Structure 1
């Protein structure tokens, strides 16, 4: 198919015959899974419309993946030199999955107590509204619930959308957006409750509306998780699941609040809620290294209740117990830290508002660095 324009004229009838035979034998559901452009090309080939197929293949070489979408009640493909009305509806019409939203996160930051989300979103090959009168909508949907929060979406110019689309047929400059999320709106009946909210952007298109997620950027701050303390023991994590932006309200049952070393031993202090259910009472601090299989559980010793009303716990790690055989210049060994609960479950050992990072010297010029990530 790709080199049909270079096929000698006398060999083209045989190609048309084989294309017709292929479509006759192929299951309709299989053909329907072809891309819109592929469906048109195979239909032209099977119908003996060689001249139109040659023109279409030349156009595709110059504009890979580009076409026009038209229609009111049903979205259909339009290509230069091919009359759409001459194509069967099963060939020319789109299904909803063929008109996805392409969204990308460009900025993620806290401003004036609100999470500012910046990016762009458009439907490839669908005419994009120009100016600030775009009809796009944004919504947060709580996972596992029907709860939704409509958000105000401000349309802005974002030339990077057109540049990254890598096509000359369409302009997506007005697909940029800015959204401000007030975290107070994520309360459930006035209370903080654990939950995950996913951001969706809806864009009108011929035949309805497409809704899609915003994916992470691989460069800059928009490619990393962002955490903010909302209340005592309550965090909001703007992170990613399969590269799609999500906001998680994390009501912390236990967390690390301090660490110190006296030369031979690292002491880590945790706190836990007095009202925590029995199953979520912290019993150990686990340190592991999955590639090597190393794991050690450090028992937690309960202390007094702090001024904040949380229970205190301490774990002690003899620094000599950490394997260092694979540590050498230019290569570090990264250990993971988990909190183990009475019911056997674990969670990442997150930290509270105070700084818990630090660097402690080890023998033979090595050092132990305690670090945190964005989540």
Structure 2
């Protein structure tokens, strides 16, 4: 019988790390695998180590080739995989894996039938491990049978080695890694996400990605090398070509989504090194990045931040010195955007003065810069009314005057159109400025507000009806009206607001987890006392709003594990 899983490990001059890598593969609790070690013309003892390991463990075998690069070695390994193996995976020879990795990924695939599964990644060095920044958003939680169109954060899942592919899916699309370039992972990983019917996302760490501390620098550590820049742009172009080759509105939409990610997340990985790079790096930036921005066009620009939009424009126009001035301004002023104008606020970067003009539509602040930043700082009850204190400001516009920052709270009943508006009083709140590092060039001292909320606002026809009301804060100031959900606080009653009984059996429960909600709740059972009973039990006593029949139980659920216990009443 062929092994269920084929693992390809390209090997090139990794004598310091190879044994550790192979031991982690051999220790996998999913043992039905073959491992193809492709020595890519190593000039150190890597091939000797690989052959010795294969001699000890017959699941491993070695393929030798002249040096052709990582992509070519992966492709050769895939071609040498057993024809009837069910799954295919790749591992880089300086990395390691937890022993449960393949068992976890393949169990998901066996359950769902998805085209491939991917898992979380940690970076490691001699002093320990930490979450891989590039995998944080995509693998924050486990999601089975999902898709990049449902979960756009998967566009950041570019790496080859944290995945297990179903061989039938791999062969159907004829995936091959590009040869002769760096950053060869994305031209397979990203199209695979778009081409898949569904994928399984596993939040558990399945891969340990090494940070090189000795020996040759890894690919991702060559940040100011012009070749690195050129190959990164080439990698993006290959992904775009794969998507453009597919017909239909769906793939046109996918391409636009990917282009937005390129401009907002992929190219910024190059942007931050332009100031450090030499003349060759900057020349490559003008040619390659400027050319790519022109190929993408301005379609995604309206969704970018004003700074990313300006960077795209300056790159397209070849204005490298202005580009570097922008990145320096962001570094010096904590990414704060200097603003001018009230009706249509625009970025007003000082380094652009005396320079060729930039179109107004490039500099006009969009929704991202005007998005309301808010925080509930206090929620208390006084004389039967809910007193709220907090702050709210429209992003980079600040709140520099009392009259220029008026606020109101909008409560909307869930599932209904009914809403209640409460006018808030603007008050000074220096903490709003302290908590807004992006406002290095202005302040938000008048972002504060207080509001008095009569709980009868949550009645319907003078009656209490169970329901949950969302809370939004609307701010009128520069740029017009801005509105967003009121975020919960981080301490005291702003984080844990108290409930309030409005009748003997109805209470109002503010909840500040995430965004503030107000729940109207008719209480049908109330615990009045909890006391020890013997050595291993507690006695709960209370009252019910109605008679109970025989067989009634008390249900207890563990808040962390969701374990449920039931007890007779």
Give the deviation of 1:113 after TM superposition. 1.9
Instruction: Describe the SS at the equivalent of 1:173.
Output: coil
User: Which aligned pairs between 1:216-231 and structure 2 lie closer than 5 A?
Assistant: 216-231=488-503
| Distance in 1 between residues matched to 2:505 and 2:319, nearest whole Å | 68
Matched positions, count:
296
Match of 1:211 in 2: 483
Indicate whether 1:182 and 2:454 are aligned. Answer: yes
| Aligned-partner SS, 1:144 | coil
Does the aligned pair in 2 maintain the 1:101–1:121 contact within 8 Å? yes
Query: Which residue of structure 1 aligns with residue 422 of structure 2?
Result: 151
Say if 2:501 and 2:508, in contact at 8 Å, map to a contact too.
Answer: yes
Q: Please report how far the alpha carbon of residue 236 of structure 1 lies from its aligned counterpart in structure 2 after TM superposition.
A: 0.7
Summarize deviations over 1:283-326 as a string: whole Å, max 9, x none: 32113447677543223xxxxxxxxxxxxxxx2xxxxxxxxxxx
Name the structure 1 match of 2:351. Answer: 81
Q: Which residue of 2 aligns with 1:246?
A: 517
CA offsets 1:230-251 (integer angstroms, 9 cap, x no match):
101101111124x111111111
Whether the 8 Å CA contact 1:13–1:48 is kept in 2: the answer is no
Give the secondary-structure state (helix, strand or coil) at the position aligned to 2:374: strand
Question: Secondary structure, in 3 states, of the residue corresponding to 2:487?
Answer: coil
2:566 pairs with 1:297: yes
Whole-Å separation in 2 of the counterparts to 1:42 and 1:295: 54
Question: Aligned to 1:235, what secondary structure does the other structure show?
Answer: strand
Cross-structure match for 2:286? 16
SS in 2 for 1:41: helix
Describe the SS at the equivalent of 2:516.
strand
Aligned-residue offset at 1:38: 1.5
Shift of 1:262: 5.5
Matched, 1:99 2:370: yes
Moved more, 61-70 or 128-137: 128-137
Distance (Å, rounded) in 1 between the aligned partners of 2:528 and 2:453:
28
Q: CA deviation at 1:118?
A: 0.7
Q: Structure 1 stretches of 5 or more lacking a match?
A: 300-314, 316-375
Aligned partner of residue 174 in structure 1, secondary structure: coil
State how far apart, in whole Å, the 2-side matches of 1:197 and 1:204 are.
22
- In 2, distance between residues paired with 1:268 and 1:294? 19
| Post-superposition offset of 1:23 | 0.9
Worse overlay, 77-86 or 245-254: 77-86
Whether the aligned pair in 2 keeps the contact of 1:151 and 1:181 (CA below 8 Å) is: yes
**Residue 469 (structure 2) pairs with residue 197 (structure 1):** yes
**Counterpart-to-counterpart distance in 1, 2:335 and 2:346:** 15
Matched residue of 1:5: which SS? coil
Partner SS state of residue 4, structure 1: coil
Aligned to 1:34: 304
* d(CA) in 1 for partners of 2:455, 2:352: 51
Aligned Cα root-mean-square deviation (Å): 3.1
Per-residue CA shift, 1:23-69, capped at 9, x if unaligned?
13336454544332112112112201122222222211101221134
1:287/1:297 contact within 8 Å kept: yes
**Where do 1:351-362 residues align within 5 Å?**
none
- 285-294 or 228-237, larger mean C-alpha shift: 285-294
User: Which secondary structure does the structure 2 equivalent of 1:162 belong to?
Assistant: helix
Question: Structure 2-normalised TM-score?
Answer: 0.47
State the distance in 2 between where 1:257 and 1:149 align: 34
| Aligned with residue 284 of structure 1, among 521, 542, 553 | 553
CA separation of 1:271 and 1:79: change in aligned 2, threshold 3 A = same
Any idea what the Cα deviations from partners look like across 1:60-104, whole Å, max 9, x if unmatched? 110122113445554433322236994346633344354211001
Cα distance in 1 for partners of 2:410, 2:508 equals 17
Report which stretch shifted further, 51-60 or 87-96. Answer: 87-96
Residue number among 140, 143, 147 corresponding to 2:411 in the alignment: 140
2:122 — aligned with what?
none
Answering whether residue 280 of structure 2 is matched by residue 43 of structure 1, we say no
Q: Which one has more relative contact order, counting CA pairs under 8 Å at least 6 apart?
A: 1
Q: Which has the higher helix share?
A: 2
Give the 3 Å change call, closer, same or farther, for CA 96–59 of structure 1 in structure 2.
closer
Query: Retained in 2: the 8 A contact 1:259–1:268?
Result: yes
Task: State which of 334, 354, 369 in structure 2 corresponds to 1:64.
Answer: 334
Q: Is the 8 A contact 2:404 2:476 kept in 1?
A: no
